[in-house]
Amino acid sequence: MKTPLYNALMEYSKHKKPFHMPGHKLGTFGDMKHLDLTALDVTEANGLDNLYEAEGIIKEAMQEMSRFYGAQSTTFLTNGSTAGILGSLMTICKPGDKVLIARNCHHSVWHALILIGAVPIYIQPEYNEDFGLMGVIAKETISQALDLYPEVKGAIIVSPTYEGIVSEVKGIAEVLHEQDKVLIVDEAHGAHFVVDEAFPESSVLQGADLVIQSMHKTLPTLTQSALLHRGTNKVNESELIKNLRLVQTSSPSYVMMSLMDYMRGYIESHRNEIKESYIVPLEKIREELSKMRKLKLLELPSVMYDQSKIVIFTNGSGIDGYTLGQYLEERYDIVAEAMLPHLIILMTTLADNEQTLTHLEKALRAIDDELFLNQSIASDDRYSKLIGPILSQVDNVKKGELSPREVYYKEARLTLIDRCLDRICAQQIMLYPPGVPIICLGERISKVHIDLIKQYRDRLKGLEIVDSQIHCKVL
């Protein structure tokens, strides 16, 4: 049989040690490998309920889930957090409405704006100079934005970030609620926060109105399994379901829904075992990794940082993040979640244990020892320090001139950067690394933008170089 995809995946799962999504890590959590997934793959047959008109077993399972997370209600998503983000924004905004959008949001947020025709007011997350990472949204930025644009319907922010940094959601929710606005938190990377006190508090418990989580990213469930929680009663549940129906499949997977239900039950009845098998060794290896001499572990207090993420900076070590990822895979079969020029991200989940975590720790420490002995290699700090001054030139709060929908349906032209002043940008432009958004879709290009683009041309993602001249897509 010629089955290239199937064969490659079977081979991959035999040998590799994934420190990436999905959270079940090739089915190695609990009794997952022994579950009969085909028995769970059914449809809306008699007695099996219906996700969009739930009143039986699906409703009961979703109620158990909302109890677990402390939400007012929870809806299963079978098309990832993407569907939750689309459905949430479609529920709070109509065409022409304004909404606060953190610049570091996932691209599904812009897709939602294209579908709705809503107008973004961009808000800038703080930049953490010590780590060279985008960090939290400050509640002061939200206040400033509400003063300037009191008509906004609400805000969407990302917490935790991909690297694991969480915002002070409680304070942000209070500021928005004082003006009767809705807070949506993209907590795609935080579905595991309720599992143990070692993790930050979920936004659901901090007053966010809508919280979206990809269960598949950080918990042992199948890819695309996700949750949409109503943390408060501010947003109408049936409106949400109506909009989810527009963006999700009409055949929601019972395998995904029932596994989310099963894993929630399994975790609840095995909390102590999980503490012993995963949390304790995780804390131990974090302590060991903090002693590395060339590679640097990202360390922050657990109220503001997800300890499950192992983020390793390579600045000054003599190798970049890609090379570190390559060493880990070639020598130890360890596959990272993400590799960037200055860091790598390794995801640990409940499926990890003393053995997998120690394997990772030993691998990283051996590479670190080797780098330490090889002192002749030049250090490389070029990524971390420049960003603060750059960001101070980008507005903290800025309205998009056109809605992403208008930009999407207009014809954009690749234009020489010197001719882009005051034109509407038809693309996202990022400073990379570390991945700092500089201009977003529908923003008007200023002199400051052009100067930044020229100065940092080699580090900007999305621009095109034609005949060695920088070009940008504009209207």
Ligand X SMILES: Cc1ncc(COP(=O)(O)O)c(C=O)c1O
In 10 A of CB 246, how many CB atoms?
11
**In the complex, minimum distance from the CB of residue 404 to ligand X, in angstroms, rounded to a whole number:** 17
Picking from 169, 111, 112, 109, the residue whose alpha carbon sits closest to that of residue 142 is 169
Distance (Å, whole) CA 50 – CA 46: 10
* One of 101, 137, 145, 226 touching ligand X (CB under 6 A): 226
Structure-token pair, residue 85: 């983000």
Applying the rule CB under 6 A, the residues between 271 and 290 that interact with ligand X are: none
Choose between 122 and 327: whose C-beta lies nearer to ligand X: 122
106 binds ligand X (CB under 6 A): yes
Q: CB–CB of 114/91 below 8 Å?
A: no
**In the complex, minimum distance from the CB of residue 351 to ligand X, in angstroms, rounded to a whole number:** 18
Distance of CA 294 to the CA centre of its chain: 28
Choose between 187 and 261: whose C-beta lies nearer to ligand X: 187
348 binds ligand X (CB under 6 A): no
**In the complex, minimum distance from the CB of residue 82 to ligand X, in angstroms, rounded to a whole number:** 3
* Residue 179, phi-psi category: left (phi > 0), alpha (psi -120 to 50), beta (remainder): alpha
**In the complex, minimum distance from the CB of residue 186 to ligand X, in angstroms, rounded to a whole number:** 5
Applying the rule CB under 6 A, the residues between 30 and 89 that interact with ligand X are: 80-82
159 binds ligand X (CB under 6 A): no
* Residue that the structure tokens 């010629």 belong to: 2
Angle between helices 354-373 and 321-332 (to 10 degrees): 120
162 binds ligand X (CB under 6 A): yes
190 binds ligand X (CB under 6 A): no
* One of 61, 188, 345, 438 touching ligand X (CB under 6 A): 188
308 binds ligand X (CB under 6 A): no
Choose between 289 and 311: whose C-beta lies nearer to ligand X: 311
Choose between 107 and 382: whose C-beta lies nearer to ligand X: 107
158 binds ligand X (CB under 6 A): yes
Choose between 155 and 417: whose C-beta lies nearer to ligand X: 155
Distance (Å, whole) CA 168 – CA 154: 17
DSSP string, 135-147: -PPPHHHHHHHHH
Q: 5-13: which pairs have CB atoms within 8 A and are 24 or more residues apart?
A: none
Choose between 144 and 223: whose C-beta lies nearer to ligand X: 223
* One of 28, 74, 78, 108 touching ligand X (CB under 6 A): 108
Choose between 29 and 162: whose C-beta lies nearer to ligand X: 162
Number of residues that bind ligand X (CB under 6 A): 11
**In the complex, minimum distance from the CB of residue 468 to ligand X, in angstroms, rounded to a whole number:** 34
Choose between 80 and 132: whose C-beta lies nearer to ligand X: 80
**In the complex, minimum distance from the CB of residue 216 to ligand X, in angstroms, rounded to a whole number:** 6
- Beta strand pairing status for 469-474 and 464-466? antiparallel
**Which DSSP state fits 458?**
G
Q: CB–CB of 87/118 below 8 Å?
A: no
Choose between 99 and 420: whose C-beta lies nearer to ligand X: 99
Distance (Å, whole) CA 320 – CA 316: 9
214 binds ligand X (CB under 6 A): yes
Strands, E assignment, 187-339? 210-214, 226-230, 296-297, 309-313, 334-336, 338-339
Choose between 154 and 281: whose C-beta lies nearer to ligand X: 154
In 10 A of CB 379, how many CB atoms?
11
Distance (Å, whole) CA 75 – CA 244: 10
**In the complex, minimum distance from the CB of residue 291 to ligand X, in angstroms, rounded to a whole number:** 30
Contacts of 231 (CB under 8 A, 6+ apart): 71, 72, 203, 204, 205, 206, 207, 208, 209, 210, 211
In the complex, which residue's CB is closest to ligand X?
Answer: 80
221 binds ligand X (CB under 6 A): no
User: What does the binding site for ligand X look like in residue numbers (CB under 6 A)?
Assistant: 80-82, 106, 108, 158, 162, 186, 188, 214, 226
